[in-house]
Structure 1
Amino acid sequence: MRNSFLFYLYHGGVEGNRLDGVLPQFDRVLNDVCGLIDDTIRDLVVSSIWKASLEGFMWVLLDGGPSRAFSDTDIIMIEEDFNMLKDLFVADGDGLPRSLVEEEAKFYRQILSLFSLPTESLVQMLMASSEHISDSVNSKKYGQRYLGDAHTLIRVLCHKKDREASKFLKSHYRLPPSSGYDEGAGEDSSFSSPLVADIWKRSASFRWSEKGQSSFRSIKKRLQEATWR
């Protein structure tokens, strides 16, 4: 189930690789698990599977690699899939309590909502949070992220199918453009949005602290080696 979820979902495009392609397998696994365990621990076990599913879903969105880049239209479909996943675990009242499912999903929905923000807003949030980047890029679990986390914001920009985002990443972090745009598109250093251009100019002259500079080098190196290889 893990492989079909992580390596199928949205790989190469959202529309043709949506959640409904793996839901039957999910449903079978949940039924098998519930049939093997005592009712007294059913909710505890299924809740653990729900949490793991949420982390897997976010891995696809934030660390899924260059084969996954999401447009505004894609995000609408992904939000539908996210609701579909929640409904699977609620199971029309026969599964986990709706309140528990919604509570666990709250943080992940907030992360998903970042993809709907304009690139200008994401860049502003990133520049405001850059001093808080730690050296442990890959050590954080998703539950330890927060909406202003620079690691999360960079990953959202990396997977956002948006020309402004691609130009910003290439110009500021020397990262390849997202899979939605070819290399040539990234060569043009001009930005169609005056606000993004202004933010980029100001960020280029920003005086980073020694810790901030070290953290940026660390995160850029790891993103180049892992996220975009």
Structure 2
Amino acid sequence: MVVEDSVDCEDGGKEMVPYEVDSIIFNLLKTWIDERLKMAMDCIDRAKEMETWNPKSKTEPYTQSSVEMLKLAEEAVGDFFEIPIGISDDLVQELADGLDSLFQDYISLVSLCISKQSYIPTLPPQTRCNKDSKFLKLWRKASHCRVRIEESHKGGSADDHHPRPSTSRGTQHLNICLNTLHHILSELHSLDKSLSQCPCQNPLPHNRYSSSRKHLSASHSYFDLARSSIQEASQHVSEVAAFCLIFLDSNTAFYDSLYVGNVTNARIRPALRNLKQNLTFLAAIVTDRTQPLAVQEVMKASFEAFLMILLVEGSTRIFLKLDHEMILEDFESLKRVFCSYGEGLVTKEVVDSEAEIVEVVVELMGQPTDQLVEDFSIAACEASGMGMIGTGQKLAMPPTTERWNRADANTILRVLC
């Protein structure tokens, strides 16, 4: 205003330098944003040291630290728009970017758990064993004593009609982490809405082009990166929780017991009772929105355990050709648990798709030995780049990739063993 009024001065007002109001306001507000983001970052740092990964309450089944962090974020957004100064798109984006980065840090903390491989048993050496094996007879004597001791310490026997759920505290904590991720995801929508409803002015002149283009490209959501991180973290956490539940918590009822000794006397019914109890307990912990993913991963883990029982535990289990009908019947029962669980949590199409490879292996177990030998020779030759094996030629031992399938020489070889 002074410059405009000084046009009649001797120098036309050239000596008057305009005060950079926009720049000063931008820097002051940026400092304010940094201070509020630091408060939220301090909350995350405390979570790294003190968070117990227990639910805040029965009505809020997610972590205390996530509640505090989201509260600070909501207060920052609310207070930001209460500042009696015109807010630019640049500053809104500055605040949104800072919050997005904070959420990603917290999401990384929540998903910082071991991989599912940590729960999968080490594959033993491939062995050829039959029902008359001296090793098997010795193992059965030792196994009989071990099982009786284990039963005396369990809360209920394998045949108990009211087994207690075997979900460990570690699995429960992972499920709370899963709830927390989806809680953050649901709160991002309201934060996005608050930021989008800002009556922003034009971007500040000194940063007009770069910031305005960034804002326009992110106009549909300020938190795309956080959302993407949540999807990846949820998949990882639910997968680890499922493998922990099946291979650790349910180990005695499922992986260590099913078909041990012989198929006829070690069917799947006790394992299914245990699984149903654990699924019911899971539903009591995991929120409705997270249940489909959690249950689907439990299904995948249980199918993986079933496959490993058939293919890699030959030293403790003896399978006959006639067993494949009972095994297929047991697997159909396992599938029905997930098809009937909840109301469409896992669709029949998804169950059938995941079950396909197990059914292929069970089908192989019903084939005669000479057919398996022929199939193995063909698959091994194709894998090694050889033609049909001739006199004097030796096939190399096919590698164990754990990608079980009908055309995999190692899969066929394990069925033969």
Say whether 1:155 aligns with 2:414: yes
The one-letter amino acid paired with 1:46 is: V
Say whether 1:59 aligns with 2:308: yes
**In structure 2, do the counterparts of structure 1 residues 27 and 128 end up closer, same or farther at CA, with 3 Å as the change threshold?**
same
Report if aligned partners of 2:380, 2:398 keep a CA contact under 8 Å in 1: no
In the TM superposition, residue 4 of structure 1 has moved relative to its aligned partner by 2.4
**In structure 2, do the counterparts of structure 1 residues 77 and 126 end up closer, same or farther at CA, with 3 Å as the change threshold?**
same
* 2:399 match: 137
Say whether 1:19 aligns with 2:268: yes
Give deviations 1:112-131, integer Å, cap 9, x for gaps.
11011111111011111223
Return the index of the structure with the highest Cα Rg: 2
Looking at structure 2, the residues matched to 21 and 37 of structure 1 have their Cα atoms a distance apart, in angstroms, of 24
Aligned equivalent of 1:80, options 292, 306, 329: 329
Looking at structure 1, the residues matched to 342 and 253 of structure 2 have their Cα atoms a distance apart, in angstroms, of 27
The one-letter amino acid paired with 2:263 is: V
The one-letter amino acid paired with 2:348 is: R
How many residue pairs get matched? 155
* 1:105 match: 355
Q: Give ranges in structure 1 of 5+ residues lacking alignment.
A: 159-229
In the TM superposition, residue 3 of structure 1 has moved relative to its aligned partner by 3.5
**In structure 2, do the counterparts of structure 1 residues 93 and 102 end up closer, same or farther at CA, with 3 Å as the change threshold?**
farther
Alignment of 1:1-229 (within 5 A): 1-91=250-340, 94=343, 95-131=345-381, 132=383, 137-138=399-400, 140-141=401-402, 144-158=403-417
Q: Give ranges in structure 2 of 5+ residues lacking alignment.
A: 1-249, 385-395
- Using CA pairs under 8 Å that are at least 6 residues apart, name the structure with larger relative contact order, 1 or 2: 1
The one-letter amino acid paired with 2:325 is: I
> Cα RMSD between the aligned structures?
1.9
Give deviations 1:170-218, integer Å, cap 9, x for gaps.
xxxxxxxxxxxxxxxxxxxxxxxxxxxxxxxxxxxxxxxxxxxxxxxxx
Report if aligned partners of 2:261, 2:317 keep a CA contact under 8 Å in 1: yes
* 2:177 match: none
**In structure 2, do the counterparts of structure 1 residues 43 and 92 end up closer, same or farther at CA, with 3 Å as the change threshold?**
closer
The one-letter amino acid paired with 2:372 is: L
In the TM superposition, residue 93 of structure 1 has moved relative to its aligned partner by 6.2
Report if aligned partners of 2:338, 2:351 keep a CA contact under 8 Å in 1: yes
Q: Name whichever structure is richer in helix by fraction.
A: 1
Report if aligned partners of 2:379, 2:408 keep a CA contact under 8 Å in 1: yes
In the TM superposition, residue 135 of structure 1 has moved relative to its aligned partner by 7.8
Give deviations 1:138-194, integer Å, cap 9, x for gaps.
4x23xx332121110110001xxxxxxxxxxxxxxxxxxxxxxxxxxxxxxxxxxxx
The one-letter amino acid paired with 2:299 is: W
Moved over 2 A (4+): 92-95, 133-138
Looking at structure 1, the residues matched to 362 and 398 of structure 2 have their Cα atoms a distance apart, in angstroms, of 23
With 128-137 and 44-53 compared, the bigger mean Cα shift is at: 128-137
Q: Percent identity?
A: 30
**In structure 2, do the counterparts of structure 1 residues 56 and 103 end up closer, same or farther at CA, with 3 Å as the change threshold?**
same
The one-letter amino acid paired with 2:378 is: A
Looking at structure 2, the residues matched to 135 and 87 of structure 1 have their Cα atoms a distance apart, in angstroms, of 37
Report if aligned partners of 2:398, 2:409 keep a CA contact under 8 Å in 1: no
Report if aligned partners of 2:311, 2:411 keep a CA contact under 8 Å in 1: yes
The one-letter amino acid paired with 2:412 is: L
In the TM superposition, residue 29 of structure 1 has moved relative to its aligned partner by 0.6
**In structure 2, do the counterparts of structure 1 residues 33 and 80 end up closer, same or farther at CA, with 3 Å as the change threshold?**
same
Give deviations 1:48-72, integer Å, cap 9, x for gaps.
1101101100110001122312223
Looking at structure 2, the residues matched to 155 and 66 of structure 1 have their Cα atoms a distance apart, in angstroms, of 11
Q: Please state whether the residue corresponding to 1:5 is helix, strand or coil.
A: coil
Q: Please state whether the residue corresponding to 1:122 is helix, strand or coil.
A: helix
* 1:202 match: none
Report if aligned partners of 2:338, 2:346 keep a CA contact under 8 Å in 1: yes
Q: Please state whether the residue corresponding to 1:6 is helix, strand or coil.
A: coil
In the TM superposition, residue 136 of structure 1 has moved relative to its aligned partner by 8.2
Looking at structure 2, the residues matched to 17 and 48 of structure 1 have their Cα atoms a distance apart, in angstroms, of 25
Report if aligned partners of 2:322, 2:366 keep a CA contact under 8 Å in 1: no
With 7-16 and 89-98 compared, the bigger mean Cα shift is at: 89-98
